[in-house]
Amino acid sequence: MTNRTLHEKYIQRCIDLARLGLGNTAPNPMVGSVIVYNNKIIGEGYHRKIGEPHAEVNAINSVKDKRRLKKSTLYVNLEPCAHYGKTPPCANLIVEQGISNVIVGSVDTAAHVSGRGIKILEDAGCNVTIGILENECRDLNKRFFTFHEKRRPYIILKWAQTKDGFIDIKRGAKHTVEPAWITNEYAKTLVHKWRAEEQAILIGTNTALVDNPLLTTRNWEGKNSVRIVFDRTFKLPSNLNIFNQDSETIVIADYAAKNLNTNVYNKNIGIIFVNYQKGFFNQFFDILVNRNIQSMIVEGGEKVLNSFIENNFWDEARIFYGNKEFKDGIKAPKIEIKELINESLGNSKLTLVKN
């Protein structure tokens, strides 16, 4: 087995460990680390939760005989941090422990790191190898990299459509009725799992009115995401489910409506005003970036989904296909399928598309 093949083997283990933190580390990246001595793993760890020790710290702490560290190689899927945050810099710890070989999957492109961790290691005489399984490492932290490199969250579009291409029947906003279910309970549970993995969920005014969704993870163990709703002129009554105490909700309203009498919301509700007429998405993304929201599922209706598609502000689309036919209704969005994965969910199908 070549050195590179060995490196790939251990970096893959770092990726597998890092993924265990999905949904719990944001806005930090998911990171795993292993320590190898004489071609044997003697320590490993991952970043479990925001505010808790980083992967390298957990890996080093798991090594029983610390004397072996000076002759070991540390593997990590992302460049060790170089700044003081909730925890001290991992790069400094690696140097202090005398670890002389470090293999890094991908460089951390966040402005406060961006090569500084690698420089600390190299300046201390460490032999650093960079770029092992780099594409896989970047894909693991696609939310983190999108946020720091594009200054917006990683955006996932989600909808369900019938065999004949509709996402809903035609319903009047004044007459709230039960949603017309297209898929099944397997799909519903999967959607709740996704919600637990992302930081925010977005819907529009019409979806809030006619579906009155909770937007929670009640069918899956995990935290509820921040709920975001576009409510340009305060049409939404305060007794809707998205305004309950289950999670924080952000209302995005128009500056033109600032003098209107708004509903009385509970303490979990925040109202933010933007100009809907000019540069809307730039303003909206600035709000999310300032709140450190790195990922968002768009679960809105036709108008909201198509606005993201038309402006090319999306990274993934997750499309459920049911076996029902509506004959008439609200047409499903159309996107160019560049890359897809198909999965069966009982009598429904899921297609994953990457932009």
Q: Would you state the structure tokens that stand for residue 71, as one six-digit string?
A: 């002759």
Q: Does residue 325 carry a catalytic annotation?
A: no
Marked catalytic residue, from 8, 44, 52, 56: 56
Largest Cα–Cα distance in the chain? 71
Q: What residues are annotated to the active site?
A: 56
